[in-house]
Structure 1
């Protein structure tokens, strides 16, 4: 296949994993920078207008179908566009008007925890009990620690954290709602159309907020942020995601969400001079512990497999 030819020269899976975490982790800082020049909904919409067209071009070149067919294929595409593209990014961009990209990345790292919870509630995939309940509790405690609530100072920061939290919840719910659809639609085709449809929804939301192109300040910084988010954190990163999804599966790939905040915090410090405080770092640790408790069996199997593969490589 053309896709196999394009990807066979790439380096090892761990390198791609770190590369994807870097692209997505830096995107939180790029969003924060770009929002000084472009209204949030319009920013997200324009990003996915272009990214969607590029991914659809990639799908047309590498797959046998560049558009969905039938009710189920259009339905799964619409769900992904509404929840994973429009809902998640719209709320994330709005939230980053009030909180830093590093804090937003920590809140978004709760998404894998919420995915497990939504799967149990919506799809009845297993029951959350015992240590799983404790894991869910740790995840929410982590968000509270990041929020660091001060009764005398609740305001824009709490608003931003709430918006990002619901954005992450939208992403998690979208990931769960797409599971029941059993289709042969290529992932790249679905993702490209989801981006285009999600961008259209973001344009509508932006118009409802009164956002217009006249409010865009076309500076070199704005252009650089937009191009990086669209082409690197958008197109290239999603194509890396498709490849890694094939290589390692969704559970192991979820772990990338816990490397992204580290990258975002480092970039916030290097680019913006912002530091992550102790409360935020503690909250992130609590969220990761919650995920580890919820997925303890899967992580134990993954660890055993990795250790076994390394042991064989030395014999």
Structure 2
């Protein structure tokens, strides 16, 4: 039963995060991108802070190290990632954005090895990172041969989003701070939302008053804030504890499937051959980079099944 529960929650998380890209595309028809991302995390941050105050004792950061990890999370994991993503997704499909973001686990490993030279990548690991980057290049190839075409710029910005998230993931782990992940996420969301509001003001983003009454606009904002962010991260915390980092990273490769289906049904988006080939290369790169951890995880899973006598 535990395995069935974990599988169900894993698929629910993949669905929530995969369909989030479709909600972003829908909301961008009404909200300016950076303000849209900021509003999302105004709501999600408050919800996460309420949950952190309920779930953990240390719901408020104290000390330089704990505030430092929140600052990195707010700047890279929330503000930079989502500002790049929302601006970039104005010019590319939800499916392409989801697939480009799935490069984050590969880039995370690359940054970890770069910042910690004693734990260098093996030859196969380097090949895996290279395959992931080739996949990005294939997806980002210009439709018109113009390297500065809007669709290329959009995909480059989404790649920058994945890079910011990967770097932030490594830096937050390097800071020696005993801060519960729920607390770190809540304050990072609020800090990231504040940064994005400042960026939006600096860009003088216009907003149509009708956005505040349009059902599609409000539905997209509510879905992103409550389902994809607040509920999604609660599922993530639960699965991280039960499955570990390697298995939960696989959600990045299941989520695009839900993006493709929802994008086709809701936005009439179709995935082209280049995007599919790029996704396969990124997924193969992840397998090569994480092959040892995947092997250990599979071995541990088989051991648990044989000891309990169940396959569910």
Q: TM-score band (shorter)?
A: over 0.9
Residues in 2 aligned to 1:145 and 1:234: alpha-carbon distance in whole angstroms: 30
Question: Whole-Å Cα distance in 2 between the matches of residues 16 and 306 of structure 1?
Answer: 17
Match of 1:238 in 2: 233
- Rounded Cα–Cα distance in structure 1 between residues aligned with 2:246 and 2:116: 17
Alpha carbons 2:133, 2:282 under 8 Å: kept: yes
Q: Distance in 1 between matches of 2:296 and 2:118?
A: 19
Among 57, 73, 82, the residue aligned to 1:89: 82
For 2:23, the equivalent position in structure 1 comes to 30
1:255 corresponds to 2:213: no
**Matched residue, 2:164:** 170
Contact 1:39–1:215 (CA<8 Å) still a contact in 2?
A: no
CA contact (8 A) 1:38 1:215 kept: no
Q: Select between 146-155 and 253-262 the one with higher mean Cα deviation.
A: 146-155
8 Å Cα contact 1:39/1:216 also seen in 2: no
Shift of 1:11: 7.0
Show CA shifts across 1:13-38 (max 9, x none).
Answer: 11111111110000000000000000
Moved more, 256-265 or 145-154: 145-154
Matches within 5 A, 1:80-159: 80-124=73-117, 126-150=119-143, 152-154=145-147, 155-159=149-153
1:291 aligns with 2:286: yes
Number of equivalenced pairs: 307
Residue 277 of structure 1: how far off its partner (Å): 1.0
Task: Please report how far the alpha carbon of residue 134 of structure 1 lies from its aligned counterpart in structure 2 after TM superposition.
Answer: 1.0
Distance 1:266 1:153 in 2: 29
Q: Could you say if the C-alpha distance between residues 186 and 157 of structure 1 is closer, same or farther in structure 2, counting changes exceeding 3 Å?
A: same
Offset at 1:189?
1.1
8 A Cα contact 1:104 1:161, kept in partner: yes
Q: Match of 1:170, SS?
A: helix
Q: Is the 8 A contact 2:31 2:208 kept in 1?
A: no
Match of 1:222 in 2: 217
SS of alignment partner, residue 12 of structure 1: helix
- Find 1:197's aligned residue among 191, 197, 204: 191
Where do 5+ consecutive residues of structure 2 fail to align? none
Larger mean Cα displacement after TM superposition, 146-155 or 80-89: 146-155
TM-score by length of 1: 0.93
Determine which of 133, 155, 158 is the counterpart of 1:161.
155
Query: How much has 1:150 moved relative to structure 2?
Result: 5.0
What SS does structure 1 have at the residue aligned with 2:173? coil
Structure 2 counterpart SS, 1:211: coil
Structure 2: distance between partners of 1:125 and 1:292: 22
CA distance in 2, matches of 1:125, 1:220: 53
TM-score (norm 2): 0.94
Task: Work out the CA distance in 2 between the residues paired with 1:310 and 1:206.
Answer: 51
Q: What does residue 13 of structure 2 align with?
A: 20
The 1:157–1:127 alpha-carbon spacing in structure 2 relative to 1, beyond 3 Å, is: same
8 Å CA contact 2:140, 2:156 repeated in 1: no
Residue from 32, 43, 46 that aligns with 1:39: 32
